[in-house]
Amino acid sequence: MQATLLGLGIAIILALVAALVGPHFIDWSAYRSLFETRASRLVGVPVRVNGKIDARILPTPSVVLRDVEAGGPGEQAKLKVGEVAIELALGPLMRGEWRAAELRLVKPEVPLALDAAGQFEWPGTAPTIDADSLSVDRLAIEDGRAVLRDRASTSSLVLEKLWFNGDMRSFAGPYKGEGGFVSGGDRYGYRLATGRFADDGLKFKLTVDPSERPLTAEADGTLRLERGVPRFEGALSLARPPGIALARGRTRHQARRHRSSPVRQGCAPRRSCVGAADRSRPRLGAAGRHAPCPARGVAQFS
């Protein structure tokens, strides 16, 4: 009996040692095509893994892909990521469920553009996997860079040092978290909460706080694509937080301007966006304080 238990214990120890040490002796580059195929199905465009691949089984299954890029053959990469690290939750994995305890994207570069007709440029197709097949408990983006280009006006917006910490219930949402970025030399913080992608678009709430300006911008509504053209329907508001210090060193408890009017923005092809709003007089709230500055309506980007 003791010999049987001793043999079983030795077998378990050897299995654990193999699980810990074995992955270091496996050439994971031989599975490069498998990783690329899975990732291509996820994002809808061809994915290439140019760097080293690491994987481990214990203490938790995890995979690290380096120098990843996505784009059509012969085209400039539409998306680049310096490192993709995913750690799978062991319990759900044993039940046949794909749930990532953590997904970390390091130095992602995301170029986005609108063509001359205002349509969103995306060379790929819709993902071919079940949107609910993957959830992420902790989603982290580190040192990212996003470039937004408008072909019609030849203008662009660059977001650098982009970071995000949050969670993703499924590939189709909802998403929730906070982060920050640098644009034009100024730092901004933001908070984001979304619903699920649906036929009528994506419901979201985005709050942006410029660190160098006493303003808070908030967008609350629905974003959808109409024949490839992004369209936003909802409310936009600007507010000055209470108790901020002004340029001359004085502190104003609360000073907020109010605009309550419909806003519509639209663009003809090859023209820059224009906007119009009914400008009403500021309305004072209690004790002579100004209320936030909301604007409600429809915006079309091109």
At 231-257, the pLDDT tens digits run 999 999 988 766 555 444 444 443 344
**Residues 6+ away with beta carbon under 8 Å from 144:** 105, 107, 108, 109, 110, 159, 161, 162, 163, 164, 181
Residue 272 lies in a domain: no
Asked if residue 45 belongs to a domain, the reply is: yes
The structure tokens 């990521």 sit at: 81
Task: Report pTM.
Answer: 0.74
Residue 76: inside a domain, yes or no? yes
Residue 264 lies in a domain: no
Q: Give the β-pairing of 262-266 and 293-300.
A: parallel
Domain count, the chain: 1
Residue 13's pLDDT is 45
Q: For residue 110, which of 155, 157, 153, 63 has the smallest C-alpha distance?
A: 157
Q: Which residue has the higher pLDDT, 298 or 112?
A: 112
For the chain, what is the mean pLDDT? 75
- Give the range among 52-66, 149-163, 186-200 with minimum mean pLDDT: 52-66
Residue carrying the six token digits 């709430």: 205
Is the residue at 188 inside a domain? yes
* Proportion of the chain above pLDDT 70, given as a percent: 66
Residue 138 lies in a domain: yes
- Lowest mean pLDDT, pick from 122-126, 137-141, 185-189: 122-126
Q: What is the pLDDT of residue 58?
A: 76
Note whether residue 156 is domain-resident.
Answer: yes
State the residue range of the domain holding 123.
24-213
Summarize pLDDT for 70-82 with one digit per residue, the tens.
887 666 657 899 9
Q: d(Cα 185, Cα 183) in Å, to the nearest integer?
A: 5
Choose between 269 and 37: higher pLDDT. Answer: 37
222 part of a folded domain: no
Nearest of 81, 76, 91, 78 to residue 35 by alpha carbon? 81
